[in-house]
Every structure is written in C-alpha cells, then in structure tokens.
Structure 1
Amino acid sequence: MALLSWVRETGIELVQVNGQRRYGGPPPGWVGSPPPAGSEVYIAKLPRDLYEDTLIPLFQSVGQLYEFRLMLTFSGLNRGFAYAKYSDQCSAGKAIAALNNWEVQEGRAILVCQSFEKCELSVDGLPTTLCHRELEALLLEATEGLLGFTLHASPSRKEGKVAVLTYSSHRAAALAKKALVEGNIGLFKKKVKVEWLKPELKEQLQAHGEKPPPSSVRHLGSPERVLPSSELRGALGLLGALCQRRHLGTPRFLTRCVQAEPDGWQRYWGQVVIPSCPVPCSTFLWVREDASGTVGHKRIKEAVARLALVMLGC
C-alpha cells in the first residue's frame, strides 16, 4: 500500500518485465546517450519488505539515477537484490562509498558494490558434428560484437557440445542472447540452451580439463580490430597531461596477463586508478605477444588510459 501511494503521489512510472520492475532507462527528461560502462551498482541483502518507495529516494540522494531495477519473484515479491544505474561513473562511486553497509532497517545493512556487466554466453546442446568454422559463420551472421568463442564437450549432455561466447559489451551479449534464443531452431536445427555463462559451468569445464586446444579457440580479428591502435596512440600522454591540468593526481596502472595460449595469443587485464575519481577504469585485451614480453603490458595500459579519457569527458 505504501508503494502504491508513493507511485500515485510522485507520478513515477514502474514497468515490470521478465522478473524485474524497472524505473527509467532513460528516466523522464533524459537528454543524450546512455551512461558509460561502470555507472551501475549492485545492491544486495535487501529486506524482502523493502520496495522502490524507499529504495529509489535513497539512491537518488547521492546522484542522478538513469535506471533502477528491482528483481522480483513470479508472485511479485522482492528477491533481495537490485541494480541502480547512475548518470556517470563518479555518482556510482559515491553511491558505493555512502550506501554500502547502510542500515535500511534496524539491524539490516545492505551491500552496495560495483556491478560487473556480463559479456559471456553459453550455448549448450549443440550438435556433436558442428565444427568451429560452421559455428563461427553462424554466430557472425546472427550476432554482432563477437570477440571470440571456445567449443567444448557438454558436461550436462552425453551427446552434444557447449560453446562459450565472448562479446565486446554487455549490450552486445544481451542482443546476441535474444537473437540466438529466438532463432536457435533455425540456426542449429535443434533446441539449444542459451544463457549467461554461469561461474559453476566455467569451473566445471576447467575441472574436467575441457580447456580446448589452440585450434579450437577462435579469436575474431586482431587486437587492432577489437581496439584500434589509432584510438590508443598517445592515450597515456594525454591522460597524464589531463590529470595534471585538472589536479586529479597521478594515474596508477595495474596490468596482468591472465591467460596465455600456445599459439602466442595472450589476454591481459589492466586498470588505472586516478586519485580524485572514486571508480577505477579496467578492461581486458587480447594481444599477440612478442619475444620481449612488453607489448601486452604497453597495449593494455594504452587501452585503460583511453577508457579513462572517455570517462573524464575527452
């Protein structure tokens, strides 16, 4: 009743679709593009009797909300977690700093942390006769933003394969999921299961030694196609000069090689922390390493520097 009264008084529109109730995305009066990656926070440990009439004003108190999504059961009850997307990354950082461990009810503190956008899908139940070239052609025809995929024996089906697909963004992965779910009968000639890659499936494949040989790993395009070198050139210098001019502090970089393939391809993770910005920038990048071992670290530094420049409005 309190929620209904609040909706009537404020005129806020809440839309319930597929197990979640959403405000905004964009909200009324929004002008411009959607917020950049890193602008969303994950909210957990919510009391089951807490709803948008309390949550939206609370999270609006630290910054402009672009979207708020409360996860619901099929009966309409709060599932205990939600997502709040802000107009920018700095507001998301403020929400984490101000509202993590906030006591929303006596003895009930909530968890607020950065939301990590999912970019990987699993497609289970593929035909055992399906080869890599056929799958690649199907995926490139049906979806956009595919960075690469691996193909494994399915751990849940005696006869069949499972593919792990990696996309360039959460949006690209979500659109791919929709396209594959709606068109899977035509694509694969049989019913397959398309879903977000679950951590337990990833661990299961690794535990059973299902890491494929180099020939079964498809990296679509060179690193320059994923992140053009023309966009990266000079990003480190530009970021350093910008931080000095705005008195933001000296950027600190963290880089690490997280995956290496026998054919020379290596996956790097990188992060840049700017003292005056509460939310760090991080990304992954595939690099074909040289003998010196320095190319990957240099490329990933340039990549995260470019992301930081975008975050700072350059």
Structure 2
Amino acid sequence: KEAERQTVLSTQRRRSFEDWLESTSITLTQVNGQRKYGGPPTGWRGPAPGPGCEVFISSIPRDVFEDCLIPLFQTVAPLYEFRLMMNFSGQNRGFAYAKYGRPADAEAAIRALHLHPLRGGMCLIVKMSTEKRQLCLGELPAGVSEEALLTVLRMVSDGVRGVTVRVAGPRGKATSALVFYSSHYAASMAKKVLVQAFKKQYGVSISVRWFSGSSKPRHDESEEEGALACPGPKPVGQALLTAASFQLARSAFRDPHPQLFSRVVGGPAPQASSGEAVPHDAVGRLRRLCELYGLGLPIYDVRYHHTSADGFLCVSYSVLVPGLPMPFCGVAQVLPGPSTNTTEEEARRTAAEQVLKAMSRA
C-alpha cells in the first residue's frame, strides 16, 4: 500500500508540475541531462551575469520539480537561469543551479535559502557555485597562432570568448593555450568534445583540463551533463559517399577558414566554404550536408519500443536519405522530455548524430 501511495503522490506532483507550466507559460529546455529555464528568460533586461552570480543547490527531494524550486528562488531576486539535473526516469538528480543577475543576489539567496526546510524533513543546501570558465589545452602543434586556434575552437565549441597561446620548451615546441568561455556550461560542454574533435578533424592529440587558477572548488559535486551514449546505426548505403568525397564535404561544411590551422598541423588544404552559417544541431548539419550533395532532405521514422529498467526510452529509428539506396537504421536510448514533441526531437537529434558518424567513416 505504501508503494501505491507513493505512485499516487508522484502522479499528483507531475500533474501539478504540468499545470504550473501551462498556467505560467514558462518554457523549459531539456538538453544533456538537465532541464533549463531562462539563460536569459523572456523579458530579461540587462547584460548576462558575470562570475559569482550562480548558486549550487543540493539535497533536493527526487520528486520536487521546478514548480516548487523556481518560485522559491525567485522570492530572493529575478532568476536569469535555473538548471535542474534530471535522470532517465524523469526524477531529478538531487541538485540544481540558480543564476541571478548580480553577485549580491546570489549571496542573498544563500543567506535566505540555505537549510530551507522542505516536506519530509529535508533541508536544501545552498552555496556559491564554482563557475570555472577556462580550459587549458596542451600538446598543441608548434607554431599555431592565436587567430588560427580561435577560429578552430569556435567551429567545434560554443561560447568561446578568447584564447591565449603560450610557448615554452626548446625552440618553442611546447605549445599550450588558455581558452576563455562565456559560461561554465559552455566550458563544460567543450571539455567533453575538444579532444575527439581535434583528433577526428585534424589528426592532433591534445590534452584538455580545467584551469585551476588560485581558487579551490567549494564543493565536490559536478555538473553531470554527459550526453547519452547510444548504439550506432547500421551503416548501409554508404558506398555512394567515398572517403575522399566526404572529406571534401566535411571541409566545406565545417571549416570556413581551414588554411589557418591545417597548414600548422600538416593537413590537406580543403576547399573554401560558401560562407553560409553552420547549423549547430545534428539535424541541421545532416540536412546541410544532404543539400550540399543534392541527396534530398532526410526523412525520419522514429518508433518507441519500451522503457528500460533504468528509465531510458528505447526507440528504433530509420533515416532515409533519398539520394542513397537504403536507409540508416539503428536503436537509441533517449532521456524523457517534458513533452512528447521534445522527446521526439531528442530522438531525431540522436539519430542524426549517428548517421553523421556513419557517413564520416565512409
């Protein structure tokens, strides 16, 4: 009976959350294991917050959602952004981040809401967030310029504000760089992809670590924003895209100023780009690539199969590229979104990413 009671309470809380979303017209975006509000919210006035404006919130009951947390933290001051970390079953992971417009507002939130009691005798833990925004890149090619590196970084990661190249060792062969990002989130996402991106696109093995500076982290919890790993598609119909032709497509599509970096690492000089804006999401990149080669627009067929024991939504997909003889087929596990449309979009993005990977191996 206790399990039944908990199921009823969970259903009621989810319904309350959905009613709150509808009544407030608040928009939440789900990406990489978190639900995000704002960044900035509609109607925000003023610049983006600088360092010291974000608080870290832990000890959140797993079935407490934004309908409780956002209004609570808005009692201190207007929120610029709120991020609740989610697991695959639709429960939260017990921690979140709230960002205000000024450091004084973040400090006020800590004073007002640290040890704030919630139901069940639990109390929130609220402390200043460690907002690391700088990455150290090591083992870079000797002779790379700041201009070239900045261009490459902006193609493979978002939010790059600037870069400083450092040269040391005999004849300046030990080259490293300090990269500045617009937010901790942008730096965290970049840290996950830079090693693979440099290896895949330029054949360069670099190291990436956080720049520690003089300050020490104030808490051990980290943002767990890793993307879900999914089984790859069956790479059927790839023969029409030869390795050489796809390399040309990648060069024209991804690298608007390739000569700046390719010359340093000894890579081939790819073709110049038409100067069109590069789509950031996988669906847009796949569409752009198919347009580039006259293959027609991809057609997605995504079907739900079941929910796994750990809460993943297991789906199968078929992506038909009209100019290829057979579709790309595979299975994926995706995070449940706040709505059916959001979940379907996430499944299409996952499928497009796997198709792009398969085509890059052609």
TM-score, length basis structure 1: 0.49
More strand by share: 1
Over alpha carbons, which structure has the higher Rg? 2
TM-score, length basis structure 2: 0.43
